[in-house]
Structure 1
Amino acid sequence: MLAAVLLLVVVGTGLVVVRPGPVAGWLGADAGPTAGAREPEAAPVPVLGLPAGTAPVPTPEGVRAALDPLVGAAGLGSRVNVSVTDVTTGQELYGRGADDGTVPASVTKLVTGVTVLAARGPAYRIGTRAVAGATPGEVVLVGGGDPTLAIDANGFYPGAARLDVLAEQVKQALGGTPPTKVTVDSTLFPGPVYEPGWDADIPTGGYGAAITALMTDGARVDPDAGSKGAERYRTPDLTAGRAFARLLGLPAGTKVERGGARPLGAAPAPPGRPPPAPSWAGSSRLR
């Protein structure tokens, strides 16, 4: 049962933010066969087998002697949580901060992936919208939390929604009114953009990014730089807004600011001004 749950979690998480693969079909994806796909292989032999009958029984003293030098390393910081239990006898062999509540690092991604799939389902699409601003020609780009959003066809994530497609929809909706300003709305995620415990080099060093509701290519400066070690933008939402402004034809250097989208039910546009209806950027699926 545990193996099955972990498999589902890994599939769900990978399909949300990485690349679609053969398992996409298990979650209801409609993609065709992947080029070069191989036939399913037989279930692998478990990596860990039962201990040999002559293997020594682990003792708390032995485990402590092996782990204390490791978990006490200065590089791990002052908060290290470890719990070691003998799966045969159920005896606790080692504990260090085992009863302290803590966020289990990247394991949280698994819980998040399962939660999203359970709440929304594998066919749910994360949308990015553009709506009318408060002044004529102002366009508000509203982030929906899609980290895979691309600027154009050269994005990092295959099949992601694209800002250039949305820009064309907006220009058609504006009719004869030229775009004059772009405002970004990333208020869907109101919390801090960086985790307080992150090292100073993480935000732009390639293994993490500012957590905003609006970003392109996972906030990567260069989508071709690879999955890890890629420099990230410090303000991904404003960067996405500037790219959108260029796609709308605004002059280089046009200032892009943060702001809120016009609420539903707001006063209609003045006579003679065609209001741009909310336009979807072809949202990205949870797959």
Structure 2
Amino acid sequence: MSNSPSADRARGRHRKSGTVSPVLRRVAVVALTAPVAGTILFGTSAFAAEQAAPKSLAKTDTVTLDTAEQQIAANLDTRVQDVRLGSTFSGVVIDAQSTAAIWGHDATTALMPASNTKLATSTAALTILGPDHRFTTKAVYDNGTLTLVGGGDRTLTTADLTAMATTAVAGLKSAGLTSVKVAVDDSLFPEPTLATGWNSGYYPDSIAPVRALVVDGRHVTDTSLDAGQIFAKLVAKQGVTVTGTVSHATAATSAVPVAQHQSAALSAVVEHMLKVSDNDIAETLLRMTALAAGRPATFEDGTAVVRQVLTRYGVSLANFEVYDGSGLSRSNRIPAQTIADILHLADDPANAPTLKYIVDGLPVSGEAGSTLGPEWGRFDTADSKCAVGKVSAKTGTLTGAIALSGLTVAADGRWKIFSFIENNSTAAPDATKDALDGLAATVNGCWA
């Protein structure tokens, strides 16, 4: 029987659920039956009324480790001293079923987590919006203007716009209209701002200014106008004259819908976002989560909802500071223990209807096209290549911060959850990543 994470997920659930409080069970039900349920979840629901006491999900009692776990702990004690990891390191390994602590090194010390932040963002988005939620982009007509209305779909493509243009043009022609102006409405989100811990140099290279309308994930300063200009060309190409230049506008509530496109389900969007660590999708999800919870679409309100969701699930937010959804912020601070707790939530079959897509979206060691693929030089050293196909983990990389957190089956046949976060190592980033891959192979047990 294969120990590959992907193979195991194909067979179904890999462990029994831990004890889950009635309030958390109701959360999953509400999230599934009401995909846009923010005002319910944070209004009068049991989710808001019965707050789980903040705590660490990992047990702190003395436990008896089996032989494989003793070997993991002993080896990690030695290997965490690797100079490539520097002296600022937070790490933890827990048993996925019992949540017993197997090993820890400054596990509650909050460090810059980089893209491991996306695990918290995904948890909140799936809980508040629901995994079946879809983002809708619309085209509406009113008084001579065809307006493209953004709905927070960061996966919108030119092909999607082409289909919308075809439908819109057919409707316009059937109404005898041969000429229109084109505008864009991205009023769903406020004007883009920089998060705490960001700098203007992030635009538009590392991330585009966060707007509700974008096509092909293009990194330009005004993604809405860019999408509108592409849409205008597509409309003109199909025989309706477009006059003037594309501009920003707010569509009237009385405007007539003429076309729309819905994204893939949020579950698929989250999986893709985690697999390739897409910063733009993460920031859009943060805003859509805030809106669904009845709050403004801002960094501040989005991260406030993330904190609320994690608290209700029982995750301790001691030493937890998050200012964005992607992990680009250099002001973010999360302990390895908290990351492990979040992964435990996603891995628990009791939460599977809502959160299993987080585990499904984790890159697999050696998986081409993911952030753990060979093109990134991951799991290709003598110490770690034995773990190819055996580790599912979220990467995180910023200047001065590298993280790796995920799951693997250890030598005792039991799943282990681990989180390793390094800050301020003076080693080359690729060398530090190799060291972290080695730690994951240590948990797996193939590097004994």
TM-score by length of 1: 0.53
Q: Who is 2:176 aligned against? A: 176
Q: Does 1:210 align with 2:209?
A: yes
Q: Who is 1:261 aligned against? A: 251
- CA positional deviation for 1:282: 2.8
Counterpart of 1:277 (choices 250, 253, 256) is 256
2:186–2:224: 8 Å Cα contact kept in structure 1? yes
Counterpart of 2:132 (choices 123, 144, 149) is 123
Q: Who is 1:147 aligned against? A: 154
Matches of 2:86 and 2:115, distance apart in 1: 24
Matches of 2:221 and 2:72, distance apart in 1: 56
1:146–1:214: 8 Å Cα contact kept in structure 2? yes
1:34-183 mapped onto 2 (5 Å cutoff): 50-52=69-71, 55=74, 58=77, 69=86, 71=88, 83-84=90-91, 93-94=105-106, 98=109, 104-133=113-142, 136-152=143-159, 162-174=160-172, 175-183=175-183
Structure 2: give runs of 5+ residues left out of the alignment: 10-31, 33-67, 95-99, 269-448
Indicate the SS of the match to 1:197: coil
- CA positional deviation for 1:259: 1.5
- CA positional deviation for 1:200: 4.5
1:187–1:213: 8 Å Cα contact kept in structure 2? yes
Distance change >3 Å, CA 52–CA 116, structure 1 → 2: closer
Matches of 1:151 and 1:278, distance apart in 2: 20
- CA positional deviation for 1:198: 3.2
Cα deviations across residues 114-169 of structure 1 (Å, max 9, x unaligned)? 33333333332211001124xx32011110001111112xxxxxxxxx11111122
1:185-224 mapped onto 2 (5 Å cutoff): 185-190=185-190, 192-205=192-205, 207-219=206-218
2:149–2:213: 8 Å Cα contact kept in structure 1? yes
Matches of 1:53 and 1:113, distance apart in 2: 29
Structure 1: give runs of 5+ residues left out of the alignment: 8-26, 28-48, 72-81, 153-161, 220-231, 267-275
Structure showing greater radius of gyration is 1
Distance change >3 Å, CA 117–CA 252, structure 1 → 2: same
Q: Who is 2:225 aligned against? A: 238
Matches of 1:256 and 1:54, distance apart in 2: 61
Indicate the SS of the match to 2:227: helix
Matches of 1:66 and 1:111, distance apart in 2: 29
Distance change >3 Å, CA 216–CA 91, structure 1 → 2: closer
Cα deviations across residues 38-63 of structure 1 (Å, max 9, x unaligned)? xxxxxxxxxxx53439948959xx97
**Larger RCO (CA within 8 A; separation ≥ 6):** 2
Distance change >3 Å, CA 279–CA 126, structure 1 → 2: farther
Matches of 2:252 and 2:156, distance apart in 1: 22
Distance change >3 Å, CA 183–CA 252, structure 1 → 2: closer
Distance change >3 Å, CA 66–CA 93, structure 1 → 2: farther
Matches of 2:125 and 2:214, distance apart in 1: 19
Indicate the SS of the match to 1:113: helix
Which has more helix, going by share of residues? Answer: 2
Number of corresponding residues:
194
Matches of 1:244 and 1:86, distance apart in 2: 50
1:215–1:239: 8 Å Cα contact kept in structure 2? yes
- CA positional deviation for 1:210: 2.2
Distance change >3 Å, CA 179–CA 126, structure 1 → 2: farther
Indicate the SS of the match to 2:203: helix
Q: Who is 1:10 aligned against? A: none
1:4-15 mapped onto 2 (5 Å cutoff): none
TM-score by length of 2: 0.36
Cα deviations across residues 189-240 of structure 1 (Å, max 9, x unaligned)? 22535435335543333x4222211001112xxxxxxxxxxxx222111100
Matches of 1:238 and 1:54, distance apart in 2: 54
1:163–1:281: 8 Å Cα contact kept in structure 2? no
- CA positional deviation for 1:93: 4.9
Distance change >3 Å, CA 129–CA 117, structure 1 → 2: same
Which has more strand, going by share of residues? Answer: 2
Matches of 2:73 and 2:245, distance apart in 1: 72
1:130–1:139: 8 Å Cα contact kept in structure 2? yes
